[in-house]
């Protein structure tokens, strides 16, 4: 109760004053700008993507443990058994798509694109009357350019190449794990084939799966393959462009069998996203990496990027570096059911020539110097 003349403020009046002071303090705090909000959304988009790949790494290790210890520890085989059972009639790696179009058009992929940013450049038209195998180079650490351009559609692939449907292939073993496989296939389109129903996004990089796309889905299909694969990620360094390609000829043989044109593509900036400790060929650490790759299906790389709270700290997130994926001129390929080794070698050389031409004509436009060369191993 207030005391007259005592100078005391009624309790209710004091509460109102405190609330007003708090509101004034709150309103005085600067609200985040539109740019700050956009940056935060971009960071969250990359974070969820990195989490998915880390999960993928865990499941891949689990596959390796199944191979090595399955007989000794049969419980480790449970995830594979569940994966097999949830796709009756289809061996692992050939599971079909369960289309969720909203996931392919997810707004998060636009924020993901803008974080780097990623850009797609067309140099030549692709005709919907042909099928194509697109070679995606380089692998980098996590194939950001290939994923963003050929899966999400956020860079406008369908607008740049009207009538062309893009597919990106990945390790078939990734489709063996029940939960992660469902995530991979949500970009797919449901089909009626009893054994193989292709996904419109990620797809197993197997002869059977790629052959289905190039022979049973009409024309206008573009199957992107990261040809260098896991082995190429071991030589991923900023300023150094090394591709594993000389002895990778299976994609050329597939192109000849189905008459699919070969298209080179190169993602400038892919190798700038992380810093990696690269061990020299012949060293015991490189030997361990090679053995691990053969056993597990992926190469263990020692790399780091930026931290979550600051781009100056170290962490597992990629650096924000521009990536420009340039799609080159198609190499016309005839349809030969049983191509000879000489014919495969010939078109393999033509593909390498087209890739070198693409690289040399665009390197100075997208961050490299005139003296930079493309090393092919």
Within a domain: residue 174? yes
- CA distances in angstroms from 190 to 95, 98, 124, 201, 215, listed in the order given: 10, 5, 31, 12, 17
Q: Taking the model in full, what pTM does it have?
A: 0.78
* Structural domain range at position 354: 36-84+95-376
Alpha helices in the chain (DSSP H): 11-28, 34-69, 78-85, 101-104, 108-115, 144-147, 157-160, 178-185, 207-216, 229-233, 250-258, 284-296, 341-362
Give the pLDDT of residue 199: 35
- Tokens 């998060």 belong to which residue? 108
Work out the average pLDDT over 254-283: 89
CA dist., res. 97 & res. 183, Å (int): 10
SS3 51: helix
The domain tally of the chain equals: 1
> Does residue 20 belong to any structural domain of this protein?
no
Both tokens assigned to 68: 């090595």
How far does the chain reach from its first CA to its final CA, in angstroms?
89
Residue in the block written with tokens 């179009």: 101
CA distances from 54 to 47, 188, 271, 291, 346 (A): 10, 22, 19, 21, 39
Residue 9 forms part of a structural domain? no
Using CA atoms, how far apart are residues 332 and 347, in angstroms rounded to an integer? 9
263: nearest Cα among 316, 233, 234, 227 = 227
Is 262 within the bounds of a domain? yes
Express each pLDDT in 168-227 by its tens digit: 888 766 665 555 555 555 544 433 333 333 334 578 888 988 998 898 778 999 999 999
Tell me the pLDDT tens digit for each residue of 252-263.
Answer: 999 999 999 999
Structure tokens at 218: 């009409």
Q: What is the mean pLDDT of residues 356-372?
A: 94
Question: Please, what is the average pLDDT of the chain?
Answer: 78
Please check whether residue 123 lies inside any domain of the structure.
yes
CA 328, 333, 338, 341 dihedral sign is negative
d(CA 350, CA 195): 35
Is 64's pLDDT higher than 50? no
User: In terms of Cα–Cα distance, which of 158, 262, 252 is closest to 200?
Assistant: 158
Residue 358 lies in a domain: yes
pLDDT 10s digits, 137-180? 999 888 999 999 998 889 999 999 999 999 888 876 666 555 55
Give the residue-averaged pLDDT of 55-71: 46
**Which of helix, strand or coil describes residue 310?**
coil
Distance, in Å, from the CA atom of 72 to the CA atom of 377, rounded to the nearest integer, reads: 39
Q: How far apart are CA 12 and CA 56, in angstroms?
A: 59
Contact, 150 vs 168, CB < 8 A? Answer: yes
Q: Where are the beta strands (DSSP E) in 232-350?
A: 242-243, 261-268, 275-277, 302-306, 314-315, 323-327
- For the record, the structure tokens of 169 come out as 């292939």
97 sits in which H/E element: none
Question: Residue 284 has what pLDDT?
Answer: 72
Report the distance separating Cα 115 and Cα 139, nearest Å: 19
In a domain, 210, yes or no: yes
Closest alpha carbon to 221 in 204, 195, 252, 200:
200
Q: Answer yes or no: is 115 within a domain.
A: yes
Q: Do residues 96 and 217 touch, judged by C-beta distance below 8 A?
A: no
CA–CA dist 289, 185 (Å, integer): 29
Tokens of residue 288, six digits:
């361990």
91-95, 99-103, 361-365: least confident range: 91-95
């Amino acid at each position: 109760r207030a005391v007259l003349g005592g100078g005391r403020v009624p309790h209710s009046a004091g509460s109102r004053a405190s609330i007003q002071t708090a509101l004034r303090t709150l309103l005085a705090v600067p609200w985040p700008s539109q740019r700050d909000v956009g940056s935060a959304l971009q960071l969250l988009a990359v974070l969820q993507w990195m989490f998915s790949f880390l999960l993928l790494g865990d499941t891949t290790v689990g596959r390796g443990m199944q191979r090595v210890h399955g007989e000794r520890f049969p419980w480790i085989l449970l995830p594979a058994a569940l994966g097999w059972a949830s796709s009756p009639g289809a061996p692992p790696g050939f599971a079909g798509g369960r289309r969720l179009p909203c996931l392919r058009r997810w707004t998060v992929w636009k924020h993901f694109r803008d974080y780097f940013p990623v850009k797609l450049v067309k140099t030549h038209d692709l005709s919907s009357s042909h099928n194509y195998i697109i070679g995606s180079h380089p692998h980098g650490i996590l194939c950001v350019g290939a994923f963003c351009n050929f899966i999400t559609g956020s860079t406008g692939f369908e607008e740049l190449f009207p009538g062309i449907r893009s597919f990106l292939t990945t390790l078939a073993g990734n489709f063996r794990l029940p939960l992660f496989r469902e995530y991979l296939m949500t970009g797919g389109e449901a089909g009626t084939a009893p054994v193989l129903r292709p996904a419109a996004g990620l797809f197993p990089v197997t002869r059977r799966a790629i052959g289905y796309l190039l022979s049973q889905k009409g024309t206008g299909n573009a199957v992107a393959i990261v040809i260098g694969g896991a082995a190429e990620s071991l030589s991923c360094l900023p300023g150094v462009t090394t591709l594993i390609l000389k002895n990778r000829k299976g994609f050329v043989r597939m192109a000849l069998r189905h008459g699919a044109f070969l298209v080179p593509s190169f993602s400038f900036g892919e190798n700038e996203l992380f810093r990696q400790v690269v061990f020299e060929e012949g060293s015991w650490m490189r030997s361990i990496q090679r053995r691990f790759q053969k056993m597990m299906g992926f190469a263990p790389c020692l790399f780091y990027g930026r931290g979550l709270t600051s781009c100056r700290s170290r962490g597992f997130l990629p650096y924000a570096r521009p990536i420009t994926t340039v799609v080159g001129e198609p190499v016309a390929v005839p349809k030969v059911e049983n191509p000879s080794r000489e014919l495969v070698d010939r078109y393999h050389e033509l593909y390498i020539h087209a890739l070198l031409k693409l690289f040399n004509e665009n390197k100075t436009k997208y961050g490299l110097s005139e003296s930079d060369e493309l090393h092919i191993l």
